[in-house]
Amino acid sequence: MTGGIVIKTKIIPALLTAGVLCAGQSALAHHPFAAEYDAEKPVTLTGTLSRMEWVNPHSWIYLDVKQPDGTVQKWTIESSGPGAMSRRGLKKTDFVAGMSLVVKGYQGRQKPAIANGRTLVLADGRSFYIGTVGGPNDGADK
Amino acid sequence: MPSILPALEWLEALAWATAIRESNWGYPIMETAHVASIVAFAGLVMVMDLRLVGLAFAQTPLTRIQRPLFPWQMAGFALSGVTGLLLFVVDPLRYYGNVFFRVKLVLLALAGFNALGFHLTIFRTVGRWDEDPLAPKTARLAGAVSLLFWAAIIVSGRLIASNWFD
C-alpha cells in the first residue's frame, strides 16, 4: 500500500516533468523546421514576386519561377515575421508585385513547391537574412 | 446552413486585425501573454487537481488550497481567453482550417463540462470530505480528467503552430 503510493508520487511527477521538458524543446524551435523542411534540399529560386504576405507569426513570399521549358512554377516561401524583417532592415513596402527576386532556402518535405526562405536578394543587389528559428546552421544569418 | 467563411473573411479584413497581424511587437506580445497566462491558469488548476487525486497536500483541506487560488485561476483564464480570442480574430481563416485548433476547442468544451459538473455535484458536499486525505471517487475522477484535458489542450495549442495539414 505504502509502496504503491511512493511509486505513484514519484512516477507521475517524473512523467509530467518529462512531458514539460519535451514541450519546451519543441517550443524553442517555434515550429520545427525539420518536420516541414529538408535541410538536405537547398534551393535557389529566381523569379518574380506575385504576392507578399507581411504577417505574423511568419511572412509568406509567393514567387513565380520560370522553368527551363517556359512554364511557370508557383513557389510559396515561408520567411521571418514582420518584427524580424524590420530589425534586419526590410519594410513591407520593399515588396512590390512583379519585382524580380532571388530567394535561397530549403525545400518542403511534403509539398514540392514550398520552401523555407533563408536569404533574400533584391534586384538592387541588397541581401537579407529572412530565416526563421530552428533552421540549419548554414551561416545565412551572418 | 450558411457558411461561416464570409464572417471569418470579414473579421480578417478588419483594420485593427490587419494592424495586429502585420505588427512588429503587438502580435508577439499578445502571443507571449497568451502562453504566460495559460501557464498561470493551468499551473494553479493542476495544484488543485493534484490535491483532488491525492498526489499532493493530502493533509491540507481542499478548500484551504482552492479558495485562495480561485481568483488567480480566473485571472489567468480571463487573460488567456481574451488573448486567445484576439489571436483567432487576427488570423481566423488559418485557425478555422487547422485540425489542432478544432481539437483544442473540443477539449476546452470537455474540460469546461468537467469543471462545471464537479462544481455542481460533488463539490457541493465538500464540507463532508474537505479534510479527508483521499477525496471521494467522483472528485478524484474529476481531478484526473482535468489534469489530462488541460495537458492535452496545451499540447494541441502548441501543435497549432505547425503547418502540417494546412
What type of residue is B95? Y
Q: Where residue A28 falls among pLDDT bands split at 50, 70, 90?
A: very low
Asked whether residue A47 falls in the same domain as residue A102, the answer is yes
Q: Where residue B57 falls among pLDDT bands split at 50, 70, 90?
A: very high
Asked whether residue A127 falls in the same domain as residue A59, the answer is yes
Asked whether residue A48 falls in the same domain as residue A7, the answer is no
Strands A72-79 and A114-122: parallel
Interface contact A23, partner B, CB < 8 A: yes
How is B55-100 classified by DSSP, letter by letter? SS-TTS-HHHHHHHHHHHHHHHHHHHHHHHHHHHHHSHHHHHT-HH
Region B92-116: mean pLDDT is 96
Q: Where residue A30 falls among pLDDT bands split at 50, 70, 90?
A: low
Nearest Cα residue in chain B from A27:
B158
Question: pLDDT per residue over B4-42, tens digit each?
Answer: 999 999 999 999 999 999 999 999 999 999 999 999 999
| 3-state SS, residue A65 | strand
Asked if the structure places residue A91 within a domain, the reply is yes
Burial class (CB in 10 A: 0-12, 13-18, 19+), B89: middle
Nearest Cα residue in chain A from B90:
A56
Interface contact A14, partner B, CB < 8 A: no
Q: Where residue A135 falls among pLDDT bands split at 50, 70, 90?
A: confident
- Mean pLDDT is lowest, of A10-19, B23-32, B37-46, B90-99, for A10-19
pTM of the entire structure?
Answer: 0.82
C-alpha neighbours within 13 Å on the C-beta side of residue A106: 20
Asked whether residue A9 falls in the same domain as residue A52, the answer is no
**B18/B14 Cα distance (integer angstroms):** 6
Asked whether residue A124 falls in the same domain as residue A63, the answer is yes
**B34/A7 Cα distance (integer angstroms):** 35
* Interchain CB distance below 8 Å, B163 and A27: no
Asked whether residue A24 falls in the same domain as residue A67, the answer is no
* Interchain CB distance below 8 Å, A23 and B158: yes
What angle separates helix B137-159 from helix A2-28, to the nearest 10 degrees? 20
Q: Per the omega criterion (within 30 degrees of 0), is the bond before B68 cis? A: no
Asked if the structure places residue A142 within a domain, the reply is no
**B28/A57 Cα distance (integer angstroms):** 8
Asked whether residue A62 falls in the same domain as residue A23, the answer is no
How far away is chain B from the Cα of A48, in angstroms, using its nearest Cα? 22
Number of domains present in the structure of chain A = 2
Spell out the domain ranges in chain B.
5-159
Asked whether residue A49 falls in the same domain as residue A111, the answer is yes
- Mean pLDDT is lowest, of A5-19, B20-34, B95-109, B150-164, for A5-19
Asked if the structure places residue A69 within a domain, the reply is yes
Helices (H) and strands (E) in chain B, counts: 8, 0
Q: What is the interface pTM, i.e. ipTM, of the complex?
A: 0.81
Q: Where residue A111 falls among pLDDT bands split at 50, 70, 90?
A: confident
- A23 pLDDT more than 50: no
**Which residue, among B12, B20, B23, would best test binding to A if mutated, counting the most A CBs under 10 Å from its CB?**
B23
Asked if the structure places residue A105 within a domain, the reply is yes
Asked whether residue A74 falls in the same domain as residue A16, the answer is no
Contact B89, B30 (CB under 8 A): no
Asked whether residue A22 falls in the same domain as residue A89, the answer is no
Query: Residue A56 is nearest to which of B21, B151, B163, comparing CB atoms?
Result: B21
Which residue range is the domain that position A41 belongs to? 32-137
- A32 pLDDT more than 80: no
* A81: CATH: 2.40.50.140
**A19/A25 Cα distance (integer angstroms):** 10
* A49 bridge partner residues: A63
